[in-house]
Amino acid sequence: MRSINETSEKLSAEGRPSIMVVAPQIRRLFSDFVRSHVPDIIILSFTELPENRRVEVYATIGGFDALATDHERADLAKASERQPETV
């Protein structure tokens, strides 16, 4: 929750809205929970995003990197350095 609040505050200081995009299955419950702590945040499911709008990702929350230990993150960083980037 701290990460969400800090990111929301940074965006607000820049005059930008805080919008989180989540899976549609968790949108309502996640929105109720997060908005009880960060009332000004907007929670949308990815199915609610208009196809003709550009989305800028400011931060990500969760996923493997969020759960990984420092050692695991270091291993991932080394592995990504060795593999050529595919564009």
Q: How far apart are CA 87 and CA 56, in angstroms?
A: 19
Query: What residue ranges define each of the domains in the chain, with the CATH number in brackets?
Result: 2-82 (3.40.50)
Is the per-residue pLDDT at 74 higher than 70?
no
pLDDT tens by residue, 22-66: 999 999 999 999 999 999 999 999 899 888 888 888 888 765 555
Q: Is 8 exposed, middle or buried (0-12, 13-18, 19+ CB in 10 A)?
A: buried
The pLDDT assigned to 87 comes to: 42
Residue 30 confidence (pLDDT): 92
pTM score: 0.63
Q: Angle at Cα 74 formed by Cα 70 and Cα 80, nearest 5°?
A: 145
